[in-house]
């Protein structure tokens, strides 16, 4: 209930401001549902299976964060996978087989190293330690491309991009050698991007809302 409590006042303000007809109070909050995964490194469990929508949670590797999971969504012959925070993961490959879309997090090690090398001039004392630690539990763009290639996914989308890329002109630098490992389409995810998968087809529609 922590998240619901944290946003309780915000939800009330929005209903008070716009009215319940525009912002129904029933739309606020969420329900946490616990699930258990087996001890295997590639363990998975179906967490939702209703009205044709099947959602599978599976283990990934974000040590020391445990458990860490990714999710696969299947509906009417279409599928997408969200990696969650992880390094290169055999479990992720297994559960991404032939998915239409794979959303995979990515961290550029050499860009983060540049930040690390200049961290001594930062007024934040912990920055040097943090930039040294984070590459060890995130996947590189090349790692994500290897997963996509080995799983046979149809489209790879990078999200949770570290560091944030301020201009599309820098996308190629961020990707590094990713295209050597995955020959399909690659998209750098940005806020407001919307993907649609029409049922029982191979089409992937993409547009930006912002």
Say yes or no: 45 and 17 in one domain. Answer: no
What is the residue range of 7's domain? 1-32
Q: What is the pTM of this model?
A: 0.91
Strand partners, 55: 48, 73
Residue 21 has what pLDDT?
Answer: 94
167 shares its domain with 199: yes
Peptide bond preceding 67: is omega within 30 degrees of 0, i.e. cis?
A: yes
Distance CA 123, CA 12 (A): 38
3-state DSSP assignment of residue 11: helix
For residue 1, is pLDDT > 90?
no
Is the domain of 103 the same as that of 185?
yes
- Please report, for residues 174, 175, 186, 187, 206, the alpha-carbon distance to residue 169 in angstroms, rounded to integers and kept in the order given: 10, 11, 15, 13, 20
Same domain for 108 and 200?
yes
What would the pLDDT profile of 110-122 be if each residue is shown by its tens digit? 999 999 999 989 8
Tokens, residue 21:
């007809």
Say if residue 114 is in the same domain as residue 184: yes
Would you give the DSSP letter of residue 4? H
Domain shared by 54 and 13, yes or no: no
Token pair of 170 as six digits: 């820098």
pLDDT digits (tens, 9 = 90+) for 45-92: 999 999 999 999 999 999 999 999 999 999 999 999 999 999 999 999
Q: Are residues 40 and 20 in the same domain?
A: no
SS3 88: coil
Q: Are residues 9 and 44 in the same domain?
A: no
Q: Does one domain contain both 92 and 66? A: yes
- How far apart CA 29 and CA 148 sit, in angstroms, is 34
Q: How far apart are the first and last CA of the chain?
A: 31
**Residue 179: its H or E element:** helix 178-181
pLDDT tens-digit readout, 129-145? 999 999 999 999 999 99
Give the H/E segment covering residue 172. helix 171-175
CA–CA gap between residue 49 and residue 72 (Å, rounded): 12
49 and 126, same domain (yes or no): yes
Residue 121 shares a structural domain with residue 141: yes
Residues 24 and 45 in one domain: no
Can you give the pLDDT at residue 133? 96
Split into its structural domains, the chain has a count of: 2
- For residue 110, the domain's CATH number is 3.60.15.10
């Amino acid at each position: 209930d922590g998240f619901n409590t944290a946003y309780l006042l915000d939800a009330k303000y929005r209903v008070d401001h716009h009215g319940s007809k525009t912002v129904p109070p029933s739309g606020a909050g969420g329900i946490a549902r616990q699930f258990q995964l087996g001890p295997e490194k590639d363990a998975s469990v179906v967490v939702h299976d209703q009205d044709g929508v099947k959602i599978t949670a599976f283990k990934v590797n974000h040590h020391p964060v445990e458990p860490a999971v990714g999710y696969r969504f299947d509906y009417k012959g279409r599928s997408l996978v969200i990696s969650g925070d992880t390094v290169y993961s055999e479990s992720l490959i297994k559960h991404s087989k032939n998915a239409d879309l794979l959303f995979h997090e990515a961290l550029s090690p050499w860009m983060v190293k540049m930040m690390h090398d200049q961290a001594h001039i930062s007024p934040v004392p912990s920055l040097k330690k943090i930039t040294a630690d984070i590459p060890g539990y995130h996947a590189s763009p090349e790692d994500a491309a290897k997963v996509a290639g080995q799983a046979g996914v149809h489209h790879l989308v990078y999200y949770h991009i570290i560091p944030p890329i301020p201009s599309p002109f820098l996308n190629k630098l961020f990707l590094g050698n990713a295209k050597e490992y995955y020959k399909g389409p690659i998209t750098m995810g940005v806020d407001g991007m919307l993907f649609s998968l029409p049922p029982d087809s191979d089409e992937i529609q993409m547009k930006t809302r912002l």
